[in-house]
Structure 1
Amino acid sequence: MVRGRWINLNGMWDYLITDSRILPWQFYENEYFPFDGQILVPFSPEAPLSQVNRQLLPDETLWYSRVIQLPEGSFDPTCQRLLLHFGAVDQICSVYINGKFVTYHKGGYLPFSADITDFVGENLVISILISVRDFSDTSYHARGKQQLERGGMFYTAQSGIWQTVWMEIVPEDYIRDLRITPDFDNGHVKIRMRTECPDNRYGTGNASYDVQPDSDKTSSDSCEDAKGSVHASALCRIYPPVYLDADGVTDELCQQPITEAFLKPGKEISIPVPAKYQKHWSPEKPWLYPVSIEYGEDRVLTYFALRKCDVQMAEDRYPRFFLNHEPYFQSGVLDQGYWPDGLYTAPSDEALIYDIRAMKDLGFNMLRKHGKIEADRWYFHCDRMGMLVWQDMPNGGSSYHHWFVTYLATLLNWMRIPVKDIHAKLLSRTDEDGRQEYVDDIRGMIRALYNHPSIVTWIPFNEGWGQFSTKQVTDMIHKLDSSRLVDSASGWFDQGCGDINSLHYYFLGLPIPRSKRVLALSEFGGYSLRIPEHSACKNTYGYKKFATSDGLTSGFARLMEDTIVPSVKKGYSAAIYTQLSDIEEEVNGLITYDRKKVKMNPLIVQKWNARIKKALK
């Protein structure tokens, strides 16, 4: 959804942290409002890069303010619309434009937008005021591994704007969104375009996009039934497959299309890709097809890939992961996306690229994005660089009973004693509103990330934290997205549903269950080495501690040789090492928290990654 006319609003904003939720100008109607200072957006106030370094507490409100003057002639409200986009704001926020309420959003991980055209004055001055509240781990909202009192496996809580804010100038009739699904077996791509127009905007057509668990349809798909829509279709052009660089899809890439088709708003169309141009996406060869779509005066650039990831019965009579109809071992790393200076927010685009490239260089072909939903830019880099992604839904619920979901669960898992997910109190999921919000967030996550070819697996629950109605949630995800796999319960509390029998191995022996589903070692390792000059904390948390890099490397090699590689012949088809980088007290990363040192011998890690992939053949 790349357009030519957009305005980046990252930068310095005024901010205030107060115990009042009342609009500032209700206190100071005709006076300059005394803000606390300035904050660098998109970094949360807890992050050093924000230049604030203050924790937002659950009973406080964080206010942001910025005034934008649009250049004269840049925007015509009589025939254009002005959209305000937020990548993510943690956790609950309200947006005001020129003193008037515009929109409200709940959920700290999902993007949202607002049409602010009707709130902009004639002089094109835009005063933006945002209020934010974040309950962190004191409520049932999704929070990942944030905790107000960090320590061990839980990390510094962050709040407020933590992804890019931008504005976009679009025509009156414009493309609202796209849903792109590769049809690998037939060499087609399926595209559905939804549009926005005046009648849909102001009439009964402006309905929710929420998808019900038993349906993949929306209550109002588009403008095709709205009076006043002037464009019957859009011209879709598909271009030859390329390896995209960090600049993404640009006009320079879009020279001669290989095929064209017309899209009718709200209707999915299947477009054949000419046989001679069919190239399949994989981590080794991440071919992407640039696409341009013209709808009246609106034009967007995007891309797709031809790839298929499913589970099939292999020749050794074990269910295995297949990529493009070939057995494919997924050797991955747990990636929680924390940085010492930006917390949830990478300090730069180069930092996002570095993490992906570092893992590819070590021989890994998959990342499990754990405990958060990353900035959209990160998934783009995985798409273009060739990195499979397993995506967690960040966990929520009330305080966790670790004696049950961590310690006892580890023992029960090793003994293969099943536990039903009906114990709402023990699994911290007694609140009905919290359960409904969690389901809504999963729908939003799938909608937001659906078009990224790198994502091959959804993970709704991890280690029983806030787990509930696993079978129903899994069925809902399959109906929302039948093109990907579902790891219903990563670690333990398996309910016999989903595509993957997913186990974690840190202590005791590695279970080798006979399963009709594909077996995945979705977490293992966690070996620790603290390097003082590259560590954030004096305290050390990890599952097995080493004093030197050589010792850590040797321990990893023994684990791979004695346990992990032999498990492949016994049915395991994926293994995910904990973890990509150190995070605060957790010093079990392959690289240090500051990203300045790889802690193991890279050649040894590469060797064992090559061996575990060959063990499948």
Structure 2
Amino acid sequence: MFKVKPSNLFIMRVSLIFVALFVWPVLTVSGTSLEKGVRQQMRCKGSSPTLSVRSSPGTEFEEIAKISTTNGIIVGDFVDGWYRVSVSTSVEGWVSGRDIDGCDSGNLVFMGKTENEMRDELAAAGYPFAGTASPDEILRVYSSTAVDVDNTNSKHVRYSPGTMSLFTRWASQVSPDNSLPDYPRPQLVRSQWLNLNGMWGFQRASAGENPPFNKTLSSNILVPFPPESALSGVMSHIDRAWYRREVEIPSVWNGQRIILHFGAVDWEATIYINGHHVGTNQGGYNPFSFDITDFLHYSGVQEIVVGVFDPTDSGEQARGKQVHNPIDIWYTASTGIWQTVWLEPVPVTRVDYLRIVPDVARGGVMLETSVVGDLSSVIAHLKVRSKGKLVSSYSVPVNQNYFVPIRNPVLWSPDNPHLYDVEINIVSNGTVVDKVTSYFGLRTISISHVGNVPRIHLNGRPFFHIGVLDQGYWPDGLYTAPTDEALVYDLDMVKHFGYNLVRKHMKIEPQRWYYWADRKGVLVWQDMPMGNNWSDWGKQRYKAELQQMISNLYNHPSVVTWVLFNERWGEFDVSEITEYTKSLDPFRLVVGATGYADKGVGDIVSYHSYNQIHFPEVSNGEARILAEWGGLGLPVDGHLWTEDDLRWGEPSYVQPVTDTNDFVEWYRKYVDQIGLLKQHIGLSGAIYSQITDVERESTGLITYDREIVKVDPRLMRSIHSFLR
């Protein structure tokens, strides 16, 4: 295997903006300093090294961080207490630097000091060392006298992203005053809203702990970036935490209902307003909201407290590829708030939900306007525009399906992603009480036979799906993209490479990602994120979050396929879940189980084939898709998640390549084999794995930081263009 330097590659580099990092407030430890965000070089040889803390001697230690065996630890939010590093193969105790205790003394730097510096510092303080005190002796004295942390300085409200080696170019645009400022719900837009992204109080929580009402929390976090991410300013994995923020409601909103929205919180969120429990939501990927009007003070400052809990891979809930201990194809967790938080004033009688279903055969859409409140004498006035030109205007009853015809309808497709804008005015007794805007696209997706072969059809014609796998991770924001422009960049690159589809793998994105897929003309296969699904509770949670996902994404024309299970991960009752999905959405295609576990149900049989492209014999009426292929590993020096721990992904499927020419040779070979499958078995599509590197996987067409495009997109497009 080789590490390839950028000079060996075709390079597409957009001007790099270096991230200006501020120095974190320093926590003092009897003369020794811990800098938040500074990597501590604890290179431990033992199994699963961890950093733990306890509030005082004699109390239980609580794990607060995992230490990479090769890459040290990023110090996050340290609290008052006593600290310990331990490995599971050794006795508990302070790391002494001896191999028997799991760490290499030659590389050990503890709490910002080397062993020699610690020895000299303690000797200067009057401890009776003879100049050559053993590490064991040093740390025994050190732990008993010098590790009681005063974290007063950590309460300073200063934001700086944590220090790390890999940022995207958009990270420099992120600040407390510029933290994802874009409107978060493009499918249902109102003119008034208040973005609550920015600095929130933040601190670790314990199970059963009372909410910290009217208290300043021990540290701060930049919402909506998860605490594990650099952009959050925390960079620490935390299963339970408190968020707190004070806000004043604009006086012009008086007389309206106030809705508090969360784009997504992983996994459980409990909301308090002014000391009152408002509600709890479970589910880490879908938006939720609460009407908080009755909990607000008449005027002045309002207190919002959010308690979060995320068991990650120790629970059964849907969590995708997040794990406590990232390795190979499993990635860093994203706990807590990871999408936009916002307030919205709404009238009592208002649009609650829109459902738009294309009816291409009749030249229009079926539209249901769900309205809540006083429904007496209420009607909806609709105006539909195409590029600003009015093409339909109707008054329709609310809370009913109603057909809206469109003059000279234009169909949506990747080659022509035409969208219609719709304005809806809710009128009660002649007065407009609510106004929202939305949009839709007209398209069909279906399976029809060409000869004796079932093939996917878009708008009534055979359409080959040539796409890429996209995991939706960012080195600086993890689950959360640094900016809206970053989301657009990834989708633009999909189009530049000549692909027409993205398989969104094991993650559900914010609504703005699908908005841009609609605008750009990118088809979407949407995975349901996996869970463990062992118990009846786990199965019911899966079904509940599946229903939420479908409801949330229902109106997006880009979304054409639901993928329920991947390679038997968390798989259960595939036939039943497929039928359930069809009952929720009969207008899209469904893959019951992709990879190697097809059960003969759903619309598509999909297979994963790396190293050598092939497809198994199938005898049912499903269309055939190669849902994962490729995996050409090309790491680029200076753009790796961890430079001293080069990984290629899962060795069983990755094909290492040496340079761009080698990559192109392998890619051309695979595409030729796919062409034969299209010719001989009627293959309907192929999805390359993957668009970007992700953490320890170097199989992307673009590096993880989005700085290096490894292969000329024009060349790639020319190689696979014959498949379309």
Q: Same fold (TM over 0.5)?
A: yes
Deviations 1:134-162 (A, max 9, x none): 00000110010001000100000110100
Could you tell me how far 1:507 is from its partner in structure 2? Answer: 4.3
Q: Is the 8 A contact 1:24 1:33 kept in 2?
A: no
2:516 is the counterpart of 1:438: no
- The CA distance in 2 between the partners of 1:393 and 1:590, in whole Å, is 24
Q: Tell me which of 619, 628, 632 is aligned to 1:527.
A: 632
Matching residue of 2:46: none
Q: Which amino acid aligns with 2:597?
A: F
Q: Tell me which of 485, 498, 505 is aligned to 1:370.
A: 505
Could you tell me how far 1:476 is from its partner in structure 2? Answer: 0.9
- The CA distance in 2 between the partners of 1:493 and 1:104, in whole Å, is 36
- The CA distance in 2 between the partners of 1:11 and 1:82, in whole Å, is 20
2:393 is the counterpart of 1:286: no
Equivalent position SS for 1:49: coil
Q: Is the 8 A contact 1:13 1:65 kept in 2?
A: yes
CA separation of 1:517/1:24 partners in 2, compared to 1, >3 Å: closer, same or farther? Answer: closer
Q: Tell me which of 22, 42, 51 is aligned to 2:209.
A: 22
Q: Is the 8 A contact 1:553 1:601 kept in 2?
A: no
Identity rate, percent: 40
Could you tell me how far 1:468 is from its partner in structure 2? Answer: 0.7
Q: Tell me which of 361, 382, 389 is aligned to 2:496.
A: 361
Could you tell me how far 1:34 is from its partner in structure 2? Answer: 4.3
Could you tell me how far 1:508 is from its partner in structure 2? Answer: 5.4
2:622 is the counterpart of 1:517: yes
Q: Which amino acid aligns with 1:16?
A: Q
2:610 is the counterpart of 1:506: yes
- The CA distance in 1 between the partners of 2:484 and 2:441, in whole Å, is 23
2:437 is the counterpart of 1:301: yes
Give the 5 Å matches for 1:520-559: 520-537=625-642, 538-542=645-649, 543-559=654-670
- The CA distance in 2 between the partners of 1:152 and 1:345, in whole Å, is 21
Could you tell me how far 1:486 is from its partner in structure 2? Answer: 0.2
Q: 5+ unaligned residues in a row in structure 1: which ranges?
A: 198-227, 243-252, 398-428
2:703 is the counterpart of 1:567: no
Q: Which runs of 4+ in 1 moved over 4 A?
A: none
Q: Is the 8 A contact 2:639 2:705 kept in 1?
A: yes
Could you tell me how far 1:3 is from its partner in structure 2? Answer: 0.4
Matching residue of 2:219: 37
2:377 is the counterpart of 1:188: no
- The CA distance in 2 between the partners of 1:52 and 1:21, in whole Å, is 23
Matching residue of 1:232: 378
Q: Which amino acid aligns with 1:565?
A: G
Could you tell me how far 1:463 is from its partner in structure 2? Answer: 0.5
Q: Which amino acid aligns with 2:689?
A: T
Could you tell me how far 1:20 is from its partner in structure 2? Answer: 4.3
Equivalent position SS for 2:416: coil
- The CA distance in 2 between the partners of 1:99 and 1:2, in whole Å, is 30
Q: Tell me which of 394, 397, 402 is aligned to 2:529.
A: 394
- The CA distance in 2 between the partners of 1:40 and 1:231, in whole Å, is 46
Q: Which amino acid aligns with 2:675?
A: V
Matching residue of 1:457: 561
2:186 is the counterpart of 1:4: no
- The CA distance in 2 between the partners of 1:95 and 1:541, in whole Å, is 41
- The CA distance in 2 between the partners of 1:451 and 1:125, in whole Å, is 37
Q: Tell me which of 391, 395, 399 is aligned to 1:262.
A: 395
- The CA distance in 2 between the partners of 1:590 and 1:104, in whole Å, is 40
Give the 5 Å matches for 1:330-369: 330-369=465-504
Q: Is the 8 A contact 1:500 1:517 kept in 2?
A: yes
Matching residue of 1:599: 710
Q: Is the 8 A contact 1:192 1:263 kept in 2?
A: no
- The CA distance in 2 between the partners of 1:367 and 1:281, in whole Å, is 16
- The CA distance in 1 between the partners of 2:721 and 2:366, in whole Å, is 35
Deviations 1:148-194 (A, max 9, x none): 00010000011010011111111111110111100111112011111
Could you tell me how far 1:609 is from its partner in structure 2? Answer: 2.4
Q: Is the 8 A contact 1:42 1:165 kept in 2?
A: yes
Equivalent position SS for 2:390: coil
- The CA distance in 1 between the partners of 2:195 and 2:553, in whole Å, is 21
Could you tell me how far 1:265 is from its partner in structure 2? Answer: 2.3
- The CA distance in 1 between the partners of 2:356 and 2:375, in whole Å, is 23
- The CA distance in 2 between the partners of 1:467 and 1:66, in whole Å, is 40
Could you tell me how far 1:231 is from its partner in structure 2? Answer: 4.1
Matching residue of 2:350: 174
- The CA distance in 2 between the partners of 1:71 and 1:458, in whole Å, is 41
CA separation of 1:432/1:514 partners in 2, compared to 1, >3 Å: closer, same or farther? Answer: closer
Matching residue of 1:49: 231
Q: Which amino acid aligns with 1:483?
A: F
Q: Is the 8 A contact 2:211 2:307 kept in 1?
A: no
Matching residue of 2:293: 117
Structure number with larger C-alpha Rg? 2
Q: Is the 8 A contact 2:411 2:442 kept in 1?
A: yes
Count of aligned pairs: 524
Deviations 1:509-556 (A, max 9, x none): 512424421000000011101102111123212411112122112211
Equivalent position SS for 1:374: coil
Matching residue of 1:70: 249
2:463 is the counterpart of 1:328: yes
- The CA distance in 1 between the partners of 2:215 and 2:276, in whole Å, is 17
2:447 is the counterpart of 1:311: yes
Q: Which amino acid aligns with 2:222?
A: L
Matching residue of 2:723: 612
- The CA distance in 1 between the partners of 2:440 and 2:487, in whole Å, is 21
Give the 5 Å matches for 1:131-146: 131-146=307-322
- The CA distance in 1 between the partners of 2:375 and 2:671, in whole Å, is 61
Equivalent position SS for 1:62: strand
Could you tell me how far 1:125 is from its partner in structure 2? Answer: 2.8
Equivalent position SS for 2:638: helix
Matching residue of 2:180: none
Could you tell me how far 1:272 is from its partner in structure 2? Answer: 1.0
Q: Is the 8 A contact 1:153 1:541 kept in 2?
A: no
Q: Is the 8 A contact 1:82 1:168 kept in 2?
A: yes
